[in-house]
Amino acid sequence: MEDEVRICSHRGCDDVATKKWTVTTFYCDKHAAIRAMRNNARQSEKFVPTMQEIVEVWPKDNVCPRCGCDFVFGKGVQSAASPSLQHFAASPEMDNPIGIVCHRCNNNLRNLGDSLEAMDIPLNLRRCTRCNTLKDKGEFGWHTSTVTGKSNISSHCRPCEVIGAAENKLARKGKE
Protein backbone atom coordinates (compact mmCIF):
# COMPACT_ATOMS: atom_id res chain seq x y z
CA MET A 1 0.00 0.00 0.00
CA GLU A 2 2.90 2.41 0.71
CA ASP A 3 4.25 2.01 -2.84
CA GLU A 4 0.93 3.10 -4.35
CA VAL A 5 1.39 5.91 -6.88
CA ARG A 6 -1.20 8.64 -6.51
CA ILE A 7 -2.33 11.11 -9.14
CA CYS A 8 -2.87 14.81 -8.43
CA SER A 9 -6.39 15.53 -7.12
CA HIS A 10 -6.72 18.72 -9.18
CA ARG A 11 -9.26 18.22 -11.95
CA GLY A 12 -7.53 17.77 -15.30
CA CYS A 13 -4.02 17.16 -13.90
CA ASP A 14 -2.48 13.74 -14.49
CA ASP A 15 0.85 14.41 -12.76
CA VAL A 16 2.10 12.21 -9.94
CA ALA A 17 1.02 13.54 -6.55
CA THR A 18 3.90 14.37 -4.23
CA LYS A 19 2.14 16.32 -1.46
CA LYS A 20 -0.59 15.10 0.88
CA TRP A 21 -2.96 18.02 1.53
CA THR A 22 -5.69 16.26 3.51
CA VAL A 23 -6.47 12.63 4.30
CA THR A 24 -7.90 12.04 0.83
CA THR A 25 -6.44 14.93 -1.20
CA PHE A 26 -3.04 14.70 -2.86
CA TYR A 27 -1.42 17.28 -5.14
CA CYS A 28 1.51 17.48 -7.54
CA ASP A 29 4.23 20.05 -6.74
CA LYS A 30 2.64 22.75 -8.90
CA HIS A 31 -0.88 22.48 -7.49
CA ALA A 32 0.38 22.17 -3.90
CA ALA A 33 2.34 25.41 -4.47
CA ILE A 34 -0.79 27.08 -5.87
CA ARG A 35 -2.84 26.04 -2.82
CA ALA A 36 -0.12 27.40 -0.53
CA MET A 37 -0.03 30.69 -2.51
CA ARG A 38 -3.80 31.10 -2.18
CA ASN A 39 -3.64 30.41 1.57
CA ASN A 40 -0.80 32.91 1.97
CA ALA A 41 -2.72 35.58 0.03
CA ARG A 42 -5.78 34.96 2.20
CA GLN A 43 -3.73 35.26 5.42
CA SER A 44 -2.07 38.45 4.12
CA GLU A 45 -5.52 39.87 3.31
CA LYS A 46 -4.63 40.31 -0.35
CA PHE A 47 -6.64 39.44 -3.44
CA VAL A 48 -7.08 35.64 -3.57
CA PRO A 49 -7.16 34.44 -7.18
CA THR A 50 -8.88 31.20 -8.12
CA MET A 51 -6.82 28.11 -8.91
CA GLN A 52 -7.69 28.61 -12.59
CA GLU A 53 -6.51 32.24 -12.60
CA ILE A 54 -3.15 31.16 -11.21
CA VAL A 55 -2.85 28.26 -13.67
CA GLU A 56 -3.50 30.71 -16.54
CA VAL A 57 -0.57 32.97 -15.56
CA TRP A 58 1.76 30.10 -14.56
CA PRO A 59 4.84 29.98 -16.83
CA LYS A 60 4.54 26.92 -19.07
CA ASP A 61 8.22 26.00 -18.69
CA ASN A 62 8.33 26.38 -14.85
CA VAL A 63 10.89 29.19 -15.24
CA CYS A 64 10.71 32.61 -13.59
CA PRO A 65 9.77 35.12 -16.33
CA ARG A 66 11.94 37.83 -14.74
CA CYS A 67 15.28 36.18 -13.95
CA GLY A 68 15.03 32.87 -15.83
CA CYS A 69 15.73 30.54 -12.87
CA ASP A 70 14.01 27.15 -12.76
CA PHE A 71 11.32 26.90 -10.08
CA VAL A 72 12.22 24.58 -7.19
CA PHE A 73 9.45 22.95 -5.17
CA GLY A 74 9.21 21.50 -1.67
CA LYS A 75 10.15 22.19 1.91
CA GLY A 76 13.82 22.46 2.74
CA VAL A 77 14.80 23.46 -0.79
CA GLN A 78 16.32 26.72 -1.95
CA SER A 79 13.41 29.04 -1.18
CA ALA A 80 14.75 31.87 -3.36
CA ALA A 81 13.88 29.80 -6.45
CA SER A 82 10.46 28.65 -5.25
CA PRO A 83 7.45 30.00 -7.17
CA SER A 84 5.66 32.94 -5.58
CA LEU A 85 2.40 34.75 -6.29
CA GLN A 86 3.19 38.34 -7.27
CA HIS A 87 0.40 40.88 -6.69
CA PHE A 88 1.06 43.84 -8.96
CA ALA A 89 -0.35 47.30 -8.25
CA ALA A 90 -3.81 47.83 -9.74
CA SER A 91 -3.92 49.48 -13.15
CA PRO A 92 -6.74 50.95 -15.29
CA GLU A 93 -6.73 47.77 -17.40
CA MET A 94 -6.74 45.29 -14.50
CA ASP A 95 -8.05 45.52 -10.94
CA ASN A 96 -5.95 42.69 -9.53
CA PRO A 97 -3.04 41.87 -11.84
CA ILE A 98 -1.06 38.82 -10.73
CA GLY A 99 1.93 36.85 -11.95
CA ILE A 100 4.13 33.96 -10.90
CA VAL A 101 7.79 34.78 -10.25
CA CYS A 102 10.48 33.26 -8.04
CA HIS A 103 10.60 34.29 -4.38
CA ARG A 104 13.78 36.35 -4.97
CA CYS A 105 12.16 38.37 -7.78
CA ASN A 106 9.00 38.83 -5.68
CA ASN A 107 11.12 40.52 -2.98
CA ASN A 108 12.94 42.63 -5.58
CA LEU A 109 9.66 43.72 -7.18
CA ARG A 110 8.36 44.82 -3.76
CA ASN A 111 11.30 47.25 -3.56
CA LEU A 112 10.53 48.50 -7.08
CA GLY A 113 6.89 49.30 -6.31
CA ASP A 114 5.09 46.08 -7.35
CA SER A 115 4.24 47.56 -10.75
CA LEU A 116 4.01 45.70 -14.05
CA GLU A 117 6.66 48.10 -15.41
CA ALA A 118 9.09 46.87 -12.74
CA MET A 119 9.26 43.51 -14.55
CA ASP A 120 11.33 45.26 -17.25
CA ILE A 121 13.83 46.90 -14.87
CA PRO A 122 17.24 45.14 -15.00
CA LEU A 123 17.90 42.65 -12.20
CA ASN A 124 20.95 44.50 -10.85
CA LEU A 125 19.01 47.70 -10.04
CA ARG A 126 17.34 48.59 -6.75
CA ARG A 127 15.37 51.65 -5.60
CA CYS A 128 16.75 53.65 -2.67
CA THR A 129 13.84 54.36 -0.34
CA ARG A 130 15.41 57.64 0.80
CA CYS A 131 16.38 59.40 -2.46
CA ASN A 132 13.90 57.35 -4.56
CA THR A 133 16.37 56.69 -7.39
CA LEU A 134 17.28 53.45 -9.15
CA LYS A 135 20.87 52.45 -8.44
CA ASP A 136 23.11 49.44 -8.93
CA LYS A 137 22.92 46.92 -6.08
CA GLY A 138 26.64 47.48 -5.48
CA GLU A 139 25.79 50.96 -4.19
CA PHE A 140 23.84 49.49 -1.26
CA GLY A 141 25.26 48.19 1.99
CA TRP A 142 24.23 45.14 4.00
CA HIS A 143 22.79 44.83 7.47
CA THR A 144 22.22 41.84 9.73
CA SER A 145 18.83 41.40 11.33
CA THR A 146 18.96 41.27 15.11
CA VAL A 147 15.90 39.00 15.11
CA THR A 148 16.78 36.39 12.47
CA GLY A 149 20.53 36.87 12.12
CA LYS A 150 20.18 36.94 8.31
CA SER A 151 22.06 39.46 6.19
CA ASN A 152 19.88 41.66 3.99
CA ILE A 153 20.61 44.40 1.52
CA SER A 154 19.94 47.86 2.95
CA SER A 155 16.93 49.87 1.82
CA HIS A 156 19.09 53.05 1.52
CA CYS A 157 22.07 53.53 -0.80
CA ARG A 158 25.44 54.18 0.88
CA PRO A 159 25.41 57.98 0.33
CA CYS A 160 21.92 58.18 1.89
CA GLU A 161 23.04 55.98 4.80
CA VAL A 162 25.88 58.44 5.49
CA ILE A 163 23.40 61.35 5.45
CA GLY A 164 20.99 59.45 7.71
CA ALA A 165 23.76 58.59 10.19
CA ALA A 166 24.83 62.25 10.34
CA GLU A 167 21.22 63.36 10.92
CA ASN A 168 20.81 60.78 13.70
CA LYS A 169 24.04 61.95 15.31
CA LEU A 170 22.83 65.57 15.27
CA ALA A 171 19.47 64.54 16.71
CA ARG A 172 21.16 62.65 19.55
CA LYS A 173 23.44 65.61 20.33
CA GLY A 174 20.40 67.89 20.51
CA LYS A 175 18.83 65.68 23.20
CA GLU A 176 21.86 65.90 25.51
Give the separation between CA 53 and CA 94, rounded to whole angstroms: 13
Secondary structure (3-state) at 153: strand
Is residue 1 predicted with pLDDT exceeding 60?
no
Give the separation between CA 107 and CA 75, rounded to whole angstroms: 19
What is residue 144's predicted lDDT score, i.e. its pLDDT? Answer: 80
Tell me the mean pLDDT in the region 14-41: 88
Secondary structure (3-state) at 30: helix
Strands (E) in 22-150, as ranges, are: 26-27, 83-87, 98-102, 125-127, 134-136, 140-144
Secondary structure (3-state) at 106: helix
Q: Do residues 163 and 129 lie in contact, with contact meaning Cβ atoms separated by under 8 Å?
A: no
Mind listing the pLDDT tens digit for each residue in 77-133?
668 888 999 998 887 777 788 999 999 898 888 888 888 888 888 888 989 989 999
What is residue 77's predicted lDDT score, i.e. its pLDDT? Answer: 65
Q: Do residues 124 and 136 lie in contact, with contact meaning Cβ atoms separated by under 8 Å?
A: yes
Which residues, in sequence order, are CB contacts of 22 under 8 Å at separation 6+?
Answer: none
Tell me the mean pLDDT in the region 154-160: 90
Is the pTM value of this prediction over 0.85? no
Tell me the mean pLDDT in the region 146-150: 75
Most confident by average pLDDT, 1-15, 36-50, 102-116, 162-176? 36-50
Mind listing the pLDDT tens digit for each residue in 43-78?
999 999 998 999 999 998 999 999 999 998 876 666
Give the separation between CA 141 and CA 136, rounded to whole angstroms: 11
CA distances (Å), 64 to each of 68, 121, 127, 139, 145, in order? Answer: 5, 15, 21, 26, 28
